[in-house]
Structure 1
Amino acid sequence: MKANSQRVKGKNFRPLNGKPLFRWILDSLLSLEEIDQVVINTDARDILAENGLVESERVVIRDRKAELCGDTVSMNLILADDIHNVPAETYLMTHTTNPMLSSETIRTALASYQEGVTKGTADSLFTVNKIQTRFYRADGSPVNHDPDNLIQTQDLEPWYEENSNLYIFSSGSFVETSARIGKKPILFEMQKLEAVDIDTLEDWMMAEAVANMRKKQEAA
């Protein structure tokens, strides 16, 4: 969790529908008994404290090393540092910028991962958006369809977009690939409204709209 962000200034601590952005995903994680501990890797311990968050039995705040700070540092390097310092059998990684990711989806993804590991068919999991639409290259040439034979988009081969919401893996899988996605990953499909990843102001407005819609649904 960075103190600064390039396109939406201070977004990790900016209020979203009544509470700081970071609290959305943190509350979802802490509501799950399957998660023993939440580790926050950050250069913003003081800002977290100003927003009422300090370390507890289930929340560990790790000060991000100076060499791991900056917008161009690979997340895999930050994860490697956490894994080295926080031993565990299973790691689940998400971002502050995924406020709509629900505890129900996290629980289901964990169960899917554990089933895959038990069967020997998977070593990791990451969330995706399923896309079935017509793609073109910059020169106008088609990528995944035949313009002379227009079939329904729902009949096109589905493509899967990594949506950066959730990753589950073991230390062994991470060591083998030096990455959060292993050699036998499960592609776990999410609903698009839940998969909002805030990177731009437009993303922020989308998250606000979804949060307001949820609030109305809960009040109904």
Structure 2
Amino acid sequence: MKTIAIIPARGGSKRVPGKNIKQLGDKELIVHSIAYAQQNKTIIDEIYVSTDDAKIKEVALQQGVKVVDRPLELAGDLEPTVTALQHVLEGIGDAVENVILLQPTNPLRPEHLLKEAFESFESGQYDSLFTVTRNEQKLGKIEANTFIPFNYAIGQRSQDLEPLYFENGLLYISKANLIRNGIIVSKQAYPMIVKHPFAHVDIDTQEDFDYAEYLYTKFITHNP
């Protein structure tokens, strides 16, 4: 039974045109995730890119990975990621046991993260795993022009906040059968805590891209 990586990368980004093949440092955005998967060949048997875009397909094929042409009906703005993963699995058959989801919009990942995550996934016999990071902000909502604190009391120190975590998107590991049933993260999923600046990169806007470039220069270009 195989463990595969799937990188879903549709075209048509509106806020950052051509986002998935936009140059980040010395390579296109999607290539960062492809390269990360290729660096973990002891875990990953095959790498698939799911895309509806000819240019993304060309870049992916140049990296030597497999490309699955995603139907347009599965590439809309409101289409959930899980349908792209299901479509890839449909074309492979039943030989896949585990799926590692690497989103191209999270291009920077700690070097040993996948190895540590996969060891936790297997040793804990989980059906899914996802990465989370602790929130350090004071959050609240506004109702009738009044701010209502959510995770703190006015005057409370930041270091005394109740521990809350956000899903950072760095990576997901799921049993293939879970995905076939339309689920990436189950209720029993293991939340792996990651404390790293890369956990705060999720590219959706040009400002996000600029921040990723800053971190890439600081942590990778200057620390080969």
> TM-score normalised by the shorter chain: which range applies?
0.7 to 0.9
- Matching residue within 139, 153, 158 for 1:146: 153
1:118-197 equivalences in 2 (<5 Å):
122-139=126-143, 140-147=147-154, 150-175=155-180, 178-195=182-199, 196-197=201-202
Is the alpha carbon distance of 1:173 and 1:102 closer, same or farther for their aligned partners in structure 2, counting shifts above 3 Å? same
**TM-superposed deviation, 1:103:** 3.9
Check the 8 A contact 2:105/2:204 in 1, yes or no. yes
User: In the alignment, what sits opposite 2:51?
Assistant: 42
Moved more, 164-173 or 205-214: 164-173
User: In the alignment, what sits opposite 1:203?
Assistant: 208
| Alignment: residue pair count | 209
**TM-superposed deviation, 1:47:** 4.1
Distance of 2:29 and 2:53 partners within structure 1: 14
Alignment gaps of 5+ in structure 1 = none
* Residue type at the aligned position of 1:37: E
Is the alpha carbon distance of 1:214 and 1:29 closer, same or farther for their aligned partners in structure 2, counting shifts above 3 Å? same
Percent sequence identity over aligned pairs = 29
Is the alpha carbon distance of 1:171 and 1:182 closer, same or farther for their aligned partners in structure 2, counting shifts above 3 Å? same
Higher strand share: 2
**TM-superposed deviation, 1:135:** 1.3
Is the alpha carbon distance of 1:173 and 1:12 closer, same or farther for their aligned partners in structure 2, counting shifts above 3 Å? same
1:102 correspondence with 2:106: no
Moved over 6 A (4+): none
Is the alpha carbon distance of 1:146 and 1:46 closer, same or farther for their aligned partners in structure 2, counting shifts above 3 Å? closer
TM-score after normalising by structure 1: 0.87
